[in-house]
Structure 1
């Protein structure tokens, strides 16, 4: 009887531990500024904003903008050239939520003429859950913190729990 109760308590504790690892975040692009042409002397506004964040697979970014604007995800080359003729993704709803579902860099520009050249563009670097848990594995390897098997389980659970279920 004591073994069954102990097992039940252990499973309950593990469930709540792993549930807390599900940490997907929605980021508001530009915070209160939203997605708009930045002031002329601040053309790196969005890249500075994005570089201060830690994006992981499963996070989302929300673009809020006016009716005459849009957001596009484009290739690196189209980002560099401010070319809006071949987007991988396009939205002009005024409130766009983009799911970050792969690691690496994603490139965003405004599709409105002249906006990209005036600084309304951004590079988002998405790290993997494995990169995110690297610190936990390093801590375990140095003799402190989590055991290596626990770090591996955290990586797997963290990757799965951020997947959308719709």
Structure 2
């Protein structure tokens, strides 16, 4: 029995390692960081050159007094700074758990209007993660691993 459990555990680890290894970490704005950009479309251009996938992380390294405030699409478009979840610590690492679009603005003064805002389109970007409530923590690879592990357990019983 113990060897079956060990085999199943080993199988789960082997199937999920490629998913973990494929996760990428991006520093928002690369070496520029989170600061007053040279143009209001700087961060949009930066993000459009990246392919974000579920499981990736983004790191907000602030240069100056800025926030990374997670907001809805409507608040992002309007630079509405009265809602959202504020991340104020430099070096905050945000995991992009599921496909969808994640919206962040700087909620200090008129910084958002000056271009300190970025949207991350993850996967197909079909769902706005903020409006979905609690999202499932399993990605496609994790779901496949869970199904295979369940099948293996049933097979060895």
Instruction: Note whether the superposition's TM-score is higher than 0.5.
Output: yes
Structure 1 unaligned blocks of 5 or more: 1-7, 129-154, 162-166
Larger-Rg structure: 1
Moved over 6 A (4+): 158-161
Q: Normalising by the residue count of structure 1, what TM-score does the alignment of the two structures yield?
A: 0.64
In 2: Cα distance, 1:90 partner to 1:18 partner:
32
Cα shift at 1:27? 0.6
Distance 1:16 1:90, change over 3 A: same
CA RMSD between the two structures:
2.8
Aligned residues: 123
Q: Normalising by the residue count of structure 2, what TM-score does the alignment of the two structures yield?
A: 0.67
Structure 2 unaligned blocks of 5 or more: 1-6, 125-139, 147-157
Distance 1:18 1:73, change over 3 A: closer
Distance 1:74 1:160, change over 3 A: farther
Find out whether 1:107 has 2:97 as its counterpart: no
Cα shift at 1:156? 2.7
Find out whether 1:56 has 2:53 as its counterpart: yes
In 2: Cα distance, 1:159 partner to 1:106 partner:
25
